């Protein structure tokens, strides 16, 4: 019996130890639970919420771009897009094939979608196509039961109502590239777009606005259950341009048949760019919709460079439009405008002949007659007397040879040569013959259409250093609150300016030798003055001159001269200036002056400088091209 009693007592002690251990364990567990659930409850509630609630960025509406009268040039419109949720679609490839029977889904898009399916979680929506038409939306909605995992989503996209007409000024928006990521989380949102060129790029931060946010409840896998709170972002600021879109459309239509051309219209007193057209152009909406690789290659490989804004980035020899600069430099050196040169069709310098465009010559001409008839020999002689450095100084005062700080990217400086420039750049001393060539706006001289418009404005506005602008006021500022712009004098005497202006009036309005008489505005209240220009793109050899120089129309297109014209109106109180270049267009009087006439006439009819009251004139159809028998 004793051994059994001992075993019973041992069992009882062990049971007591076990019960005591369990009591201690449960006491510790209870204490821990009390600590976590009572003492630390606030802390763990916060941690639980952070795991349960996800904070998501909301892209803000992009700010509008409007013209000087408030007409929208860049807006946001609803964007209907197709999205697919892989976990709901089950077989994504098969579902894309089924979708492709209703709307186009090309092979490039299919490969992109399948790549994203492999990279993302199965419940994350993937964009298939954007910018659907109503017909496409309807087809998908009707067939929705047969398209599990596919749905229509609604967002916003950028839209340019005037398409190609204002593309180079406005620029465009497109998806953010990897090298453009700055750490701003807004840039990493799927489908977010930024400005890539023009005003869209220059004022991207202001147009972009600030992001909103939404608090959404998610489960352990990250799937959204419900939205708890939303704070919409701050829309981007509105940008007011100086452009008159009605005039812009008119100018774009007027040059649409030219292969390559540029036109700038500017207010001579304020510097407001009223129209800036470069052709060929491009459709900015195509970039926002998603440009295919093939379409992009077509654009960048186009020899007519539709993506280049030729008005600010095209650099051309100004030809005879530069002769006013040479004349002003001479007048400043007290060279009398009455001094005459005898043009026999050429001038001799050493063993070289420098030819006038008129083979038989102009005979004896003074300064005003030389401007009127665009006599090259007169300006060879004048340049030789003045010297290249003084010509360069006058050029810079008139706005040539450097950028003008226009408020869009891409502006180029052109080139105004000097003796020091050539020595430093090429390492060869300047030659006197090069001065003669500079005297007629050829050789090393390069200008942009914008610079030529500014040059003309500074000539006719009283000699003030007007600078061009494309925006009426900084983004977010009411243009009505902007004070009038003031500009310093460039130091031209009124006498010198009036001599040049008289010569420009003779160019257009004198039937006896005026090179642009055929393009005059017959209404005296709107009459214009100006200067034609023809810029050679290749040197004409002596052998060719002996055989007889071929006319532009008989040469291959790329060997034809550039046609230029600068002008202003109205003649009695200049307000508007224009510069026109038609690449390989031939003579300025035949190709460029008729365009300038139509543009200045339309500008005055619209009167864009009038107080902005929200009115926009309706532009009439462009008139037919006129021609002149003069070669320059």
Q: Can you tell me the distance from the alpha carbon of 244 to that of 67, in angstroms, rounded to the nearest whole number?
A: 6
β partners of residue 352: 349
Give the CA count within 13 Å in the CB-facing half-sphere of 101. Answer: 7
Q: How far, CA to CA in Å, does 8 sit from each of 16, 20, 48? A: 12, 18, 52
Q: Please confirm, yes or no, whether 320 is among the known catalytic residues.
A: yes
320, 395, 519, 579: the active-site residue: 320
β partners of residue 446: 415
Q: Can you tell me the distance from the alpha carbon of 157 to that of 79, in angstroms, rounded to the nearest whole number?
A: 6
- 261-267, strands of its sheet edge to edge: 273-279, 261-267, 576-582, 562-569, 529-535
Q: Residue 326: count other Cβ atoms within 10 Å of its Cβ.
A: 28
Query: What is the number of residues in the chain?
Result: 632
Q: Can you tell me the distance from the alpha carbon of 447 to that of 318, in angstroms, rounded to the nearest whole number?
A: 6
Q: Can you tell me the distance from the alpha carbon of 546 to that of 353, in angstroms, rounded to the nearest whole number?
A: 13
Give me the torsion for CA of 422, 424, 429, 430, rounded to 10°: 20
Q: Can you tell me the distance from the alpha carbon of 432 to that of 429, in angstroms, rounded to the nearest whole number?
A: 10
Q: Residue 451: count other Cβ atoms within 10 Å of its Cβ.
A: 30
Q: How far, CA to CA in Å, does 406 sit from each of 262, 276, 458? A: 16, 12, 16
Cβ proximity of 102 and 61 under 8 Å: no
For 39-67, give one letter per residue: b (16+ CB within 10 A) or e: eeeeeeeeeeeeeeeeeebebbbbbbbbb
Please give the positions annotated as active site: 320
């Amino acid at each position: 019996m004793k051994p059994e009693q001992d075993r019973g007592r041992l069992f009882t002690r062990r049971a007591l130890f076990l019960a005591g251990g369990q009591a201690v364990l449960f006491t510790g567990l209870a204490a821990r639970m009390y600590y976590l659930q009572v003492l630390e409850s606030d802390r763990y509630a916060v941690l639980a919420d952070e795991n349960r609630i996800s904070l998501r960025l909301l892209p803000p509406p992009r700010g509008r771009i409007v013209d000087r009268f408030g007409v929208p040039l860049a807006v946001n419109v609803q964007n209907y897009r197709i999205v697919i949720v892989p976990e709901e679609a089950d077989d994504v490839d098969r579902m894309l094939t089924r979708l492709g029977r209703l709307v186009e889904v090309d092979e490039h898009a299919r490969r992109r979608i399948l790549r994203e399916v492999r990279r993302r979680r199965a419940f994350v929506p993937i964009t298939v196509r954007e910018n659907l038409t109503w017909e496409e939306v309807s087809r998908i909605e009707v067939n929705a039961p047969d398209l599990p995992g596919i749905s229509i989503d609604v967002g916003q996209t950028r839209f340019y109502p005037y398409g190609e007409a204002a593309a180079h000024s406005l620029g465009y928006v497109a998806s953010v590239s990897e090298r453009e990521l700055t750490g701003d989380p807004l840039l990493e949102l799927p489908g977010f777009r930024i400005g890539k060129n023009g005003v869209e790029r220059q004022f991207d931060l202001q147009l972009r606005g600030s992001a909103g946010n939404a608090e959404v409840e998610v489960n352990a896998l990250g799937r959204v259950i419900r939205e708890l709170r939303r704070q919409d972002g701050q829309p981007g600021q509105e940008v007011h341009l100086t452009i008159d879109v009605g005039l812009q459309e008119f100018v774009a239509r007027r040059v649409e048949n030219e292969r390559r051309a540029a036109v700038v219209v500017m207010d001579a007193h304020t510097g407001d760019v009223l129209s800036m057209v470069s052709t060929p152009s491009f459709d900015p909406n195509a970039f926002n919709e998603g440009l295919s690789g093939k379409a992009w290659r077509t654009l960048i490989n186009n020899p007519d460079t539709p993506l280049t804004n030729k008005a600010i980035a095209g650099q051309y020899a100004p030809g005879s439009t530069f002769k006013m600069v040479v004349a002003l430099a001479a007048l400043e050196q007290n060279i009398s405008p009455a001094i005459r040169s005898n043009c026999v069709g050429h001038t001799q310098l050493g063993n070289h002949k420098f030819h006038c465009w008129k083979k038989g010559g102009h005979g004896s001409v003074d300064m005003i007659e030389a401007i009127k008839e665009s006599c090259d020999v007169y300006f060879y002689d004048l340049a030789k007397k003045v010297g290249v450095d003084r010509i360069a100084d006058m050029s810079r005062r008139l706005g040539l040879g450097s950028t003008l700080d226009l408020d869009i990217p891409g502006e180029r400086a052109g080139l105004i040569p000097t003796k020091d420039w050539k020595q430093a750049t090429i390492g060869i001393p300047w030659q006197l013959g090069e001065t003669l060539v500079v005297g007629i706006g050829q050789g090393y001289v390069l200008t942009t259409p914008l610079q030529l418009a500014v040059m003309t404005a500074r000539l006719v506005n009283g000699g003030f250093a007007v600078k061009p602008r494309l925006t009426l006021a900084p983004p977010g500022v009411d243009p009505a609150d902007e004070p009038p712009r003031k500009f310093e004098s460039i130091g031209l005497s009124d006498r010198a300016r009036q001599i040049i202006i008289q010569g420009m009036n003779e160019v257009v309005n004198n039937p006896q030798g005026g090179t642009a008489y055929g393009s005059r505005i017959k209404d005296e209240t709107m009459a214009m003055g100006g200067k034609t220009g023809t810029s050679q793109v290749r040197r004409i050899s002596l052998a060719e001159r002996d055989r007889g120089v071929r006319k532009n129309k008989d040469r291959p297109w790329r060997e034809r001269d550039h046609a230029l014209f600068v002008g202003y109106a109205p003649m009695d109180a200049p307000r508007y200036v224009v510069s026109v270049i038609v690449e390989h267009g031939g003579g300025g009087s035949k190709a460029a002056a008729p365009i300038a006439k139509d543009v200045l006439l339309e500008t005055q009819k619209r009167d864009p400088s009038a107080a902005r009251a929200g009115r926009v004139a309706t532009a009439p159809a462009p008139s037919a091209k006129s021609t002149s028998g003069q070669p320059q």
